[in-house]
C-alpha cells in the first residue's frame, strides 16, 4: 500500500496561528500589551468618547467625522433603515425557534435580491451597500425578536442613533439615556478587530470578487460559532446555570475544567493579557449593576474570573462581560451575537472595501497528509471500506 506522505517544503501553523496573511491599515492589536487601535486611535480613547456612528465613519473612510459629516452619515443610516418587503416576508416565514444568527444570515443574503446595486462592484456602490447593511441589520434582528413572540415588528425611528433605534424597536419605547449610552459604547467596542475569523472569512469570499452581500453572509456564519462571537450567548447560559444550580461558581467551573471543557468568555488567540475591551466592559457592567442595585452577576463573574486565573492563567475576552451587561438591559440572551454582528458589520465592510482596493485572490496551500499512487480496483473486487 502507498504510504502517507507530507510535503517537506513547508510547515503549517495550526489555525493559521501567528500567520500574517495580508496588509491592512484598519486595526492594530498588540496582544502582549493588551492594546487595540482603530485607524490610529486607541480603543480607550474612543469608547465612551465617540459614538458608534463616528466609529463607522472612521473605519469606512479613515478619519473621525466633523459634526456635519457625522450628521450626514447618521441621516443616511436612518433613511436606509426600512426593510424591503421581501425580507419582511422572509422574517414572517422563519420558525419561531430559529437561531437569530441563522435568521440574520438568511436575511443578509436575501437583502441582495432587493438591492439593484448588489452586483455593482464600484467603490461608491460598495460604500452605499455598507451603509445599507449597517442600517438594516439591527432592524432585522429587532423585527425577528418581536415576530417570534407573536408581536408585530415596530417601524424603525427616522432619527436617533443605531443603539437607540435598536432598543426602541425591541420594546416600543425610547430607551433611557444610560441604556442607549451603554449599548452605543458596546457597539464601539465590537466594531472592528483586525483579521479575526469572521473578517478573514469575509475577505476570503470578497477576494474571489463575489459581492458584498455574499461576503457578509459568510462573515455572519463565521461569527455565530461558539469559539467566536457565539461565545457571549453561552456565557449567559453558564451564568444562569450557575445561578440556578445553587452551587458555588468556583466549584461549578472547576468541575467543568476537570472534564476538560472550555469556559466561554475566556482566552484569546491574540491577547496574552486581558482583552482591553473586557476591561472597559467590566467597568460598564459594574456601573449598570450599581444602578440596578444588583450584585448577583458581578459576584458570579468575579468568582469565575479568579478560578480561571488560578487554574488556567486565562483572562476574560470581549464576550465575558457583554453577556451580563445586555442581560441587565433586558435583552434576550440569543440576541447577543446578532448585536455583535450589527456592530462588526462596519469592520467587515471596511475590510472588504480595503480588499477590493488592491485585490488578490486569497488562496493558501494545504500540506497534503493523504496517500499517493493508488490503483483503481474494479468495483466487484473492492472490499467494504466503512465496516
Ligand atoms: N476554557 C478552558 N480552557 C481553555 C479556554 C477556555 N476558555 N481557552 C483556551 N483553553 C485551553 C485549551 O483547552 C488548550 O489547553 P490544552 O493545551 O491543555 O489542550 C489551551 O488553552 C490552548 O487552546 P487553543 O484552542 O489552542 O487556543 P486558541 O488560541 O486557539 O483559542 C479561543 C482561542 C478563543 C478559541 C479559546 O480561548 C476558547 O475556546 N475560548 C472560549 C470561547 C470564547 O470565549 N471565544 C470568544 C473569543 S473572543
Cα distances (Å, whole numbers) of residue 38 to 24, 168, 188, 374: 11, 28, 10, 52
| Residues 324, 188 within the same domain | no
| Residues 242, 208 within the same domain | no
Q: Whose CA is nearest to atom 34 of ligand 1?
A: 268
pLDDT 10s digits, 232-287: 999 999 999 999 999 999 999 999 999 999 999 999 999 999 999 999 999 999 99
Distance 53 CA to ligand 1 centre (A): 32
Q: Whose CA is nearest to atom 46 of ligand 1?
A: 228
Q: Does some domain include residue 208?
A: yes
pLDDT 10s digits, 27-81: 999 999 999 999 999 999 999 999 999 999 999 999 999 999 999 999 999 999 9
Q: How far apart are CA 98 and CA 210, in angstroms?
A: 27
| Residues 87, 178 within the same domain | yes
| Residues 140, 261 within the same domain | no
Q: Annotated active-site positions, please?
A: 228, 268, 319
Q: Does some domain include residue 374?
A: no
Distance 233 CA to ligand 1 centre (A): 17
Q: What's the total number of domains in the chain?
A: 2
At residue 5, the pLDDT reads 37
Check residue 273 and report its DSSP letter: S
Domain carrying residue 299: 231-328
Q: How far apart are CA 301 and CA 278, in angstroms?
A: 12
Q: Whose CA is nearest to atom 28 of ligand 1?
A: 269
| Residues 160, 41 within the same domain | yes
CB 78 within 8 A of CB 134: no
| Residues 239, 202 within the same domain | no
Q: Does some domain include residue 385?
A: no
Strands across the sheet containing 27-30: 27-30, 35-38, 41-42
Check residue 10 and report its DSSP letter: -
At residue 386, the pLDDT reads 77
Task: Output the CA torsion 285→287→291→297 (10° steps).
Answer: 30
| Residues 217, 77 within the same domain | yes
Work out the burial of residue 137: count CB atoms within 10 Å of its CB; fewer than 13 is exposed, 13-18 middle, 19 or more buried.
Answer: buried
Instruction: For the chain, give the percent of residues with pLDDT over 70.
Output: 97
What does the angle CA 25 – CA 58 – CA 159 come to, to the nearest 5 degrees?
155
| Residues 182, 272 within the same domain | no
| Residues 323, 345 within the same domain | no
| Residues 187, 251 within the same domain | no
pLDDT surpassing 50 at residue 134: yes
> Residues with Cβ < 8 Å from 339, sequence gap 6 or more?
141, 166, 183, 186, 187, 190, 322, 326, 331
Q: Does some domain include residue 16?
A: no
* Grid cell for residue 8: 517537506
Q: Which of 44, 15, 16 is nearest to 30 (CA)?
A: 44
Residue to mutate (ligand 1; options 36, 262, 263, 264; most atoms within 8 A of CB)? 262
Q: How far apart are CA 169 and CA 184, in angstroms?
A: 15
Q: Whose CA is nearest to atom 3 of ligand 1?
A: 262
pLDDT band at 3 (very low <50, low <70, confident <90, very high): very low
Mean residue pLDDT of the chain comes to: 96
pLDDT surpassing 60 at residue 4: no
Q: Does some domain include residue 93?
A: yes
| Residues 165, 238 within the same domain | no
pLDDT 10s digits, 345-379: 999 999 999 999 999 999 999 999 999 999 999 99
Q: Which of 210, 266, 232, 211 is nearest to 344 (CA)?
A: 232
At residue 10, the pLDDT reads 57
Whether ligand 1 lies within 6 angstroms of the CB of 62 is answered as no
Whether ligand 1 lies within 6 angstroms of the CB of 70 is answered as no
**Ligand 1 atom nearest to CA at 15:** 30
Q: Is the pTM of this model over 0.85?
A: yes
Q: Does some domain include residue 135?
A: yes
Give the start-end residues of each E strand in the chain.
27-30, 35-38, 41-42
In CATH, what number is assigned to the domain containing residue 284? 1.10.230.10
Mean pLDDT of all residues in 157-166? 98
In CATH, what number is assigned to the domain containing residue 210? 1.10.580.10
Residue to mutate (ligand 1; options 14, 223, 265, 267; most atoms within 8 A of CB)? 267
Whether ligand 1 lies within 6 angstroms of the CB of 267 is answered as yes
Amino acid at each position: 500500500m502507498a504510504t502517507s506522505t507530507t510535503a517537506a517544503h513547508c510547515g503549517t501553523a495550526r489555525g493559521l496561528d501567528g500567520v500574517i496573511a495580508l496588509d491592512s491599515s484598519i486595526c492594530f492589536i498588540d496582544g502582549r500589551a493588551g492594546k487595540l487601535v482603530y485607524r490610529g486611535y486607541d480603543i480607550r480613547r474612543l469608547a465612551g468618547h465617540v459614538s458608534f456612528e463616528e466609529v463607522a465613519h472612521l473605519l469606512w473612510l479613515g478619519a473621525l467625522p466633523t459634526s456635519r459629516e457625522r450628521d450626514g452619515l447618521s441621516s443616511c443610516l436612518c433613511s436606509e433603515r426600512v426593510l424591503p418587503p421581501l425580507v419582511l416576508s422572509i422574517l414572517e416565514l422563519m420558525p419561531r425557534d430559529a437561531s437569530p444568527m441563522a435568521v440574520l444570515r438568511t436575511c443578509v443574503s436575501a437583502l441582495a435580491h432587493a438591492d439593484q446595486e448588489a452586483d455593482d462592484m464600484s467603490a461608491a456602490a460598495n460604500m452605499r451597500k455598507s451603509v445599507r447593511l449597517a442600517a438594516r441589520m439591527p432592524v432585522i434582528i429587532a423585527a425577528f425578536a418581536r415576530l417570534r413572540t407573536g408581536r408585530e415588528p415596530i417601524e424603525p425611528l427616522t432619527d436617533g442613533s443605531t443603539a437607540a433605534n435598536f432598543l426602541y424597536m425591541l420594546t416600543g419605547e425610547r430607551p433611557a439615556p444610560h441604556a442607549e449610552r451603554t449599548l452605543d459604547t458596546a457597539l464601539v467596542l465590537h466594531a472592528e478587530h483586525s483579521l479575526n475569523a469572521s473578517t478573514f472569512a469575509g475577505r476570503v469570499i470578497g477576494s474571489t470578487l463575489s459581492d458584498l452581500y455574499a461576503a457578509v453572509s459568510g462573515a455572519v456564519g463565521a461569527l455565530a460559532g461558539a469559539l467566536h462571537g457565539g461565545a457571549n450567548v453561552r456565557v449567559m447560559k453558564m451564568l444562569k446555570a450557575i445561578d440556578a444550580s445553587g452551587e458555588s461558581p468556583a466549584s461549578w467551573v472547576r468541575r467543568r475544567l476537570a472534564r476538560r471543557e472550555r469556559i466561554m468568555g475566556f482566552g484569546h488567540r491574540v491577547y496574552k493579557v486581558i482583552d482591553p475591551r473586557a476591561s472597559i466592559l467590566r467597568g460598564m457592567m459594574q456601573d449598570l449593576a450599581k444602578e440596578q442595585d444588583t450584585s448577583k452577576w458581578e459576584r458570579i463573574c468575579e468568582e469565575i474570573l479568579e478560578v480561571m486565573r488560578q487554574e488556567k492563567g486565562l483572562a476574560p475576552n470581549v464576550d465575558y462581560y457583554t453577556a451580563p451587561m445586555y442581560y441587565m438591559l433586558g435583552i434576550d440572551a440569543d440576541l447577543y451575537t446578532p448585536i455583535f454582528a450589527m456592530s462588526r458589520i462596519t469592520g467587515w465592510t471596511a475590510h472588504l472595501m480595503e480588499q477590493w482596493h488592491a485585490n488578490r485572490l486569497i488562496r493558501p496551500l494545504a500540506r497534503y497528509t493523504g496517500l499517493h499512487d493508488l490503483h483503481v480496483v474494479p468495483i466487484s473486487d473492492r472490499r467494504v471500506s466503512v465496516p
